[in-house]
Structure 1
Amino acid sequence: MIKARKKWLSVLLTVAMLAALLVPLATPAQAAATYTVSNVPLLEAGKTYTTDLPTITIDLKALTTTGYVYLSLPTTPSGWAIGANRNVPANVGSVPNALASSDVDVVAGDPQHPDEIFINIKNVTNPGNDGRIILTLTSLTIPSGFSGDVKLSAEAPDTSPFSSGDIIIARVGAGDVSVAVDDVKTITAGGTNEVYLNIRENAPNALKGLKLTLPPGFRWKSVQTDRLYWGDINLGANPYSYGPSLNDGRDLKITPQTTSTKASYFKVKAVIDIDETVAKYGDVVVTVSGENGTSVATSSVTVAKYGEYGAKVYTENVGTITAGKAEEHLDTYLVIEESVPGSLVANRTITLTLPENARWSKDKPTRDDSRSKNRGSLDIQWSFIGSDGRTLKGTISGTSSGQSEGAKLVFKDFYVTTAPDFVGDLKVEVGGSAGLSGSVVLAKVNAPVKASAEGTIPEVKIGLPGQAVADFTITETGKEAVVANVVYCTADSYGVLTKVTLSNRARITIKAPAGVTFSGIPKVEVVSGDLVVDTAAVATDTSPNNEGLLYIPIKSASTVPSTIKISGVKVTLDRTVPEGDLVFKVRDTAVNQTLDKDGKDTFFPGHKDAASVVVAKCVTPAPTQTLGKAVFKIGEAKYTIGDKEYTMDAAAYIENDRAFAPMRYVAYAAGVTQDNILWNPATRTATFIKGDRVVQVTADSNILVVNGTQIAMDVKAVIKDGRFFLPVRWLSVALGCQVDWDAQNQQVIVTRTQ
């Protein structure tokens, strides 16, 4: 209900009623006013305020009608009073105000009704435009005993353009205190560990006492007032209490000398000490509690992060590359992240070393600024070192000191080349003087092709021509895995590889074992995908080692993974082929871009094959004559040749499922005389001569050289306790012997047949 008003309003009401009579009854009132308060101050009861009071902006959309509104303070307790001035701006935005100053009457602070403001619109100068009235509160009296929101209740009749409702213009209460920090920085054991606390009252006399409690392992070392932003709180000479007697140094108590009469805001500078044996890494959260009747708005606040100097290396977005492809670009991001700012020290280094069958290629990585953060001036300059193309060195410059968190440096655009038979995780070993270590996966490496036989594996015999072997397929693991143009590699002085692309047509070569040659040209066809093979140019050949060769030239690469089928394959076996699986190897420039310009495996010796497939089984062994039999027993230094027992200077042993013995004694068992065993200490190479066979092997290498032909072993030759060891099988077979394993008696049996 709109209250009955006093006689002093009668003239204004009469004018308003007469104006209303001029408006057609069919036009409805709008009641579309909004009330916007500039600020809501926190005040005290029992006081009169004449400053720091808000303004109330009243907006009336598309104003066409006149009308009035009463703005009333609470009815209880008694003693309320309000004063206000009105302002009617000329424009609302860029459009003329619907109201002129003379169109609006405002009565406020009348002695008979000190708790009301009456606003009456008696004319609309620009009908249809938005109207705006601004009330500036000039005084506000709040009676004692009141608390809560101070509301002006807007009451308007239905025909008025004003809206009814409550307008909050102030709040009255005891107030509370909030604690915050500008910037959460990282602290370390032994660091300066300064933190800055912002303490703020939202009402006068709110702060009477405050307690700030650190978590276990942290202590307040020193505390002082940094500055008073505003207000009149008197903190005094020493408002801060802390030390071992207060909760083992974890508590800081703040007690002002005199409480404020104006809400105050000040900053405290504190230094935190750390007990490394107790403190936990992570956020340092201070618990906030009030004392002496203080109410707190903040129950806890994170003031710092605790960590120790250190850094870690890891990878993100690890992608897949193809083995045997030169200059493969990695999608991987390498991340070097500090635990706290300043962990990475200028002029120290980080090294990334690839495994043996991989080399860095093309160019050095670059920093990704969109992913890096908090680095300050910290950076890493990359360079290649060594001569084998495997090691990338990063030299640290600048510092991240002063950052809120440890730096995160992200690097991209890594290029590598892997051997054609490299499959699995491509890991780099991390080292260098910066103290980082371990390994990270840079990429997943897939073979370029897979070879598989169809149907039952047939049996073949030595000495017979034109024997059929299984049909087989060569399938790409991804599009363009088989290439159409020859690509070879060159290396700089660091061994870093760069590819060179020629216009020459690339090819796949199928290599048969020694003693196995092709009988005619088999059928070669693409059975799926869009790879194009030059079928008219398919040809066969024989290597100097009597190995059958099938050449498959490639016309154009695929856009979808494709499959080549080789069928109708017939072979001739000479009488030197041993019994067992007959394996074809898939190699050459279409699946291997790591060869040098002369087609040699200079950069990855012994790694030419991209795939292999068993196409037959030789069931008739080559004729042999047993000339002697030697037995090596695992764990013993004694061995026998025939019925005679001999003593070695080291015992045979098993490692990685391979039986190792000193090579000198294996050579004796194979029929090599002492005069035909040579040792070159400069190159750490042993040479064994037996008839027309010359076998060489170098320490820490997996390459066995037989009459100049390199053979890749599945293990390395090793020097152990001053003795040169190699698996018995590799050297024995290279020297023309047959090797058998007696698992029950843990014996290696070497049968000399030539």
Structure 2
Amino acid sequence: MVKSKWLSFVLVFAMLVSMFVPMGMTNAFAAGTSYTSLTVPSISDDSTTKLGTFMIDIDPYATQSEALIELPNTDYKIYDLVIGNPTDSNGTNGREYTNFDKIPNNVSDAVYNGTLNDNDRNPISFSLVKTSSNGFKLSLTSSGTNKELKIPVSFKSVNVPSGASGDIKATITNISGQLTSGSVVVATIGSGDITVSAIDTNTFSDAGGPVELRIAESTSGKLNAKDQLKLELPDGFKWGTVTDKKIVYGTLGRSGDISNVVFTVDGDTLKINLADDKYKSTDKVSIDFVASINVTDTDKAKYGDIIAKVKGDYTATPSEITVGTYGDYSATVKAVDSSTVAYAGQNDQGVSDIEIKEAIQGSLIEGRTILITLPSNARWFKIDDTVVDKEKNNKVDDDNGVELDFVGLQGTDNRTAKFQIKGGSTGKDKPADLKIENISVALDSGITGDLVATVSGSAGLSGDITLAKVVNPVTVTADKTNVKLGVSAQAAGDITISEYKDGAIDTNDGSSPVVLDLPDGVKFAAKPTVTVTSGDIEVDHVSLTNDDNTLEIYFKDDSNTASTIKVSGIKYDVDRTVGEGDIQVKVAGKALITVPNDLDNYQSDSNYDTWKYADVWFSGDNYVAKVANATVVTPAPNATNQTAVFTINSTTYTVNGVQNTLDSAPYVKNGRTYLPTRYVAYALGVSSDNVLWDGTKATFILGNRVVQVTPGSTTLTINGAPVTMDAPAEIVNGRVMVPFRWIAQAFGAQVQWDATNQTVTMTLKAQ
């Protein structure tokens, strides 16, 4: 029976063992450098034994590096150590150090000098200096920059002290370069009578495969002839032959050897015991062996981890172990880092690398295709750091006999990239692991959120992958005032533009502006003031264009520190064609949007020459964000009353029926209702540049009336004349709060209190 295929890929290296240690790999990460456990055997304390192996992975290797690598303390003694892989025929030569404890502290040996398969790599040399009985200094040197560098480190023989428990970690302490500080588990101390662990596992298909296992006594004499240790496989699997049996440490009786350990295969159960009690260990023993696993019923065998239950007459740990991974001929595709940030509206935005892994060798078949389609707000820009073309045949990556080629874009909208498989990994030592790297895209403006691509094609891969988090290069906020139709030079609210991070505003060496674009019928009455309130971007000049409908802000250069720009002193001329409601300002410009939204713009603008293969462009509005900094509250320029309604404990209020938001809600204190004075002023027609604060008192100017309030004081002044209130003004959440009747009187407004609805209504007759 053929099973439906599903995407799965699990690499399982050595498992193990105690109930308190998670099975699988353990990692210590830094940017570009990782330390990964390859084998984590379960061992006993007070023994000389083989610990595990971990991989140093530096991607890319770029600089000379040094670090101390140490076991927990000086009670641990390293006897035999392997750096690199001395038996690898591909050139990744290494060095095995025997009698490590006899190496003088000041002696350095060359460990490796080769080219690591890729012709464009520079030779790398490794050297080792013993620093203590439990540690050494590892140095890396190279004549130039390399790609990914992998170096296995194996503790082949180590004395583990009595009383050791839990995880045994190798600690890496950075001295210089890319060998960053971290730690990685290389063994774990077992408990109970016997510890069982997987030393080396396999990922295989219906043909089955071998697994190397270890059993270790906690104290001598635990294994015996009467009792049995049983390893039981799940349904669909059975044990095959047992080979490569050996004693890792300890002694079986005076003349005992590995032949006196009996391995009995009974279908899905492997039974282990001694041939006779006279072979009981005189010191605790550890035994390694290789057992094959056969797939006997594909209907019952489940894809994924093969977990054997540990049973029998002993108190054994753990109660189950992962002995391998069973899969069909399938592969997985994933985004390596979906948290990558890309800017909406910009070209050449880097996104996550894409990883394609075989479940088992031969899963990817020559000639099959993989299609990756971007959403409608994205277009492919570069793949493997090369500008995309409609028809190309570039090798993207290869591994274990499989080559992945980019063969061009499909369709008419540049959204679908086509890749093709060449070669195959059948007969190789492991499944292929491929990466599509150095990818960038162009993104439509104003559309943010996860960038989700769809995978399809004849290779059998399907699903969605998130390549990036798309954000706007800036965020925009504004204060808001009320304006009238047919009136000139009316004050509008300040606009604040904040960079997502440094350099998000792409000034193009000062030639590209940030643009504020007003709706039809609204003009800037004068050039506003533009200031940098934080960060280090510098304003060069400000211009009004498009019949004063557009403000262009030019900067001297990109920021090195994320910056905030404030546009203040904004005054609008509003003609009679503008409807009631908010005046929405579009924030755009080539400093924020580097992708053209039509081909004509592209052809006439040399800034976009690098995008020479595009056929279809984004359409629609071309802006980053819209923000309202004024509200048209009257249908005609005739004078009307201003009516504002505030509600206790609510951060919304209305002005002539139009809802607005404030940042400090009204409240009741000692029988007095307090309102935020700034928003009362706005509601009654005071412009934002006529609201002043000198650190001591607040000043409000409305027509010929000047009102001043001092927090902590019961006195306010109207055109200099003092008025005594029955409760003091105060500051709450950064806002000056005043009892409503007094502030209404100060502005000449009529007030009404509705106790049932908890509202304050103020009416200011037209001036």
Q: Normalising to structure 2: TM-score of the pair?
A: 0.44
Q: Normalising to structure 1: TM-score of the pair?
A: 0.45
Structure with greater Cα Rg? 1
